[in-house]
Structures are given as structure tokens and as C-alpha cells.
Amino acid sequence: MTYDIAIVGSGPAAYSASIYASRYKLSNIIIGKIIGGTISEAHKVCNYPGLPDISGMELGMKFEAQAKDLGGEVAYESVIDIKKIDGIFHIYSDGKKEYEAKTVILTTGTERNKLMLADEDKYLGKGLSYCATCDAMFYKDKTVAIVGGKNAAVMSATMLSDIAKKVYLIYRGTELLGEPMWVDQLLARKNVEIILKTLPIGLEGENRLERIKLSQPYNGEQYVNVDGVFIEIGSEPNAALSNILGIDVDEKKYIKVDSTQATNIDGIWAAGDCTTASNGFRQVVTAVGEGGIAANAIYKYLSQKAR
Ligand SMILES: Cc1cc2nc3c(=O)[nH]c(=O)nc-3n(C[C@H](O)[C@H](O)[C@H](O)COP(=O)(O)OP(=O)(O)OC[C@H]3O[C@@H](n4cnc5c(N)ncnc54)[C@H](O)[C@@H]3O)c2cc1C
């Protein structure tokens, strides 16, 4: 079968695109790695209108259920290549499947940045985590450090201060850059110590992470004993497919789109965190907006072609 739309990625942008596409009676399939995408890692989502207090996983499952109820198909696989042959896109997955579609929406989101320390991989899952919301509960009454100084780090530190005995927030900058409301909340926590102008330079421990080595401009090298370290230093777009397809990206590899979410390649749209849209405000509410806009634009594009 040739779908009207193949949606690559399975986060909020994908489900929204599928929901709108199905309402336009456009056949569509989501091909993505994880139910719900990145938001499934969120402990709580409190800023999505109408659902004031929901876990990210639950929100993702609600998105999926609505998309499927309306007729959207879902395949949880990774897309490894896309080729356009005689005007039809051929989408190849790591499940050795090939899907065909008249149009494509890329909703591939972003990937977490690493600190690039020597033993980062060694300690992953042994005291080192990139997702405070996923792993915080393992650190009840323990001592943890969060690395980073923007929203993700500030929010993670606040959440962890409810669970852990002691929380260090380590940031290389001179002040925290999170939303003022989150920063104020964090500063009010008694078990949080903020260490500014400091770089993590090493991770140490026998069988699991026990210490983080820090470099400070005036005090030189210091150690902080910890049970866990959470790295919350931002993310980068998943750009493998845009590279393959020759899609225009900005200097940080975010996909350039116009006001209809169209890319520079005929038949390919992009939506959500992987794009330059929504003023770089990468949230569920903007991802679902962009997914809907892309589906609407494709409806108009395919209707015009059919005339
Ligand atoms: C811990 C945390 C908490 C957050 N909390 C909030 C919050 O409270 N409120 C809020 O609005 N936002 C929050 N966000 C941000 C929110 O998760 C994102 O803005 C949103 O998920 C973006 O949706 P998306 O569909 O663009 O991409 P994503 O949700 O990132 O989904 C993209 C998916 O595509 C997959 N993918 C990538 N490449 C391929 C490929 N080649 N083949 C198949 N699949 C692929 C990725 O693995 C990923 O699962 C949070 C983010 C994090 C990390």
C-alpha cells in the first residue's frame, strides 16, 4: 500500500500529524522508536492545556490511542533510509520493512547531549543518568549531583530535592538560566547546594559511580561524593535523515521549515523539536501545533495534485 503520509518519529508532533491527517481522510503511518517520544521521559507534564497533572508516559499513550482510534497506523521501528523513486517515498526501517508514501513528515525530535568525559559510558546505569525524571526514584534519601544550568537541570534538581537527601547543582556559568519561576522554587529548597563556575572533569568509582571530579577557577580540583549524577545539558536534533535527504538545516542542524512546516524538498515536511519553527520554543504544545499544520498543508498539497 502507498500511504498518503509516512510520519517518521513517534512523539507529540507525530501523533498530532496523524490525528489531523486521519480527520482529512489521509491514510497515514507513524514509524517511530518509542511510544510518546521524548515526553514519555517526563515525570509530570503540568503545562499541556486541559490535562493539568499527567505523567509524560500517560500523555504519550493518550496521544497514541487517539491516533489509532481515528485510523492512523503505528509501527515502532527506526527509519534508517528514505529514497524517492518515481515520485513515491520508500521508507526503510531497521525491522527490514519498506513502507511507501506520497509524502513524509519528519518528527524525529532531539537527542540528549553528553558531557564527553572518559568514563561516561562505563557509568551509564551505574550511577549516571541522562533522565532525572526516569531515574530519580532510585535515589531516595541519597546524594546526587545534577550537571547543567538551564530549565532541564533546574527542574530536575527541584524534583530530585523532593526525593534525595542532598542535591548538588553544578553549572559552568555564573548564574542559572532556567525560567525564573523554576529557579525561585529551587533556591527555596534547603537540601540543594548550587555550585557555579565549575566544570565536571571526571567520574570515579569502583563498580559504580562514587565521586565526581570538579575543576573550579579558584579552588582547583575538588571531589564531591555522590550516589548518582544526572547530566541535563541540553540536546541536539536527530539529523541523520535530514542529512541523507539533503534537507536544509540551520547551523545547529535543526530542519529549516516555512510557515506550513514544508522543507526545501518537495513532498517532505517536518514538525516538532527537530525544526526551526515556533521560535525555537520546543515543547509539547508547539510540537502538536506544528504536526497539525504539516498535516493540513499536506491535505492541501495532495488535493491540488489530485485536481
Ligand atoms: C525530561 C523532559 C521533560 C519534559 N517536560 C516537558 C513538559 O513538562 N512540557 C512540555 O511541553 N515539554 C516537555 N519536554 C519537552 C518535550 O518532551 C518535547 O518538546 C516534545 O516531546 C517534542 O515532541 P516531538 O514530537 O517533536 O519529538 P520527540 O518527542 O523527541 O519525539 C521524536 C521521536 O522520534 C524518534 N526518532 C528519531 N529518529 C528516528 C528515526 N530515524 N526513526 C524512527 N524514530 C526516530 C526519537 O527516538 C523520538 O522518540 C520535556 C522533555 C524532557 C526531556
Distance 96 CA to ligand 1 centre (A): 24
Taking 90 as the threshold, does the pLDDT of residue 294 lie above it?
Answer: yes
Q: Is the CB of 282 under 6 A from ligand 1?
A: yes
Model confidence band, residue 34 (pLDDT cutoffs 50, 70, 90): very high
Q: Which three cell numbers stand for residue 188?
A: 527555596
Distance 56 CA to ligand 1 centre (A): 10
Q: Is the CB of 45 under 6 A from ligand 1?
A: yes
Predicted local confidence at residue 104, as pLDDT: 98
Determine the residue of 8, 16, 19, 39 to mutate for testing ligand 1's pocket, defined as the one with the most ligand atoms within 8 A of the Cβ atom. 39
Predicted local confidence at residue 188, as pLDDT: 96
Q: Which residue has the higher pLDDT, 85 or 129?
A: 85
The closest residue, in CA terms, to atom 49 on ligand 1 is 37
pLDDT tens-digit readout, 12-22 = 999 999 999 99
Burial of 66 (0-12, 13-18, 19+ CB in 10 A): middle
Comparing 42-46, 60-64, 256-260, the range with the smallest average pLDDT is: 42-46
% of residues, the chain, pLDDT over 90? 83
Atom of ligand 1 nearest to the CA of 14: 25
Q: Where are the domains of the chain?
A: 2-112+235-306, 120-231
Determine the residue of 284, 286, 293 to mutate for testing ligand 1's pocket, defined as the one with the most ligand atoms within 8 A of the Cβ atom. 284
Task: Identify the CATH class of 2-112+235-306.
Answer: alpha beta
Q: 2-112+235-306 and 120-231 share one CATH topology?
A: yes
pLDDT tens-digit readout, 260-270 = 999 999 999 99
Predicted local confidence at residue 135, as pLDDT: 80
Mean pLDDT score of the chain: 94
Taking 90 as the threshold, does the pLDDT of residue 40 lie above it?
Answer: no
Q: Is the CB of 8 under 6 A from ligand 1?
A: yes
Q: How many residues does the chain have?
A: 307
Instruction: Give CATH for domain 120-231.
Output: 3.50.50.60
Predicted local confidence at residue 159, as pLDDT: 93
Q: What is the pTM of this model?
A: 0.82
Q: Is the CB of 107 under 6 A from ligand 1?
A: yes
Tell me if 119 sits within 8 A of 203, measured CB to CB: yes
pLDDT tens-digit readout, 86-122 = 999 999 999 899 999 999 999 999 988 999 998 898 9
Q: Is the CB of 112 under 6 A from ligand 1?
A: no
Atom of ligand 1 nearest to the CA of 133: 1
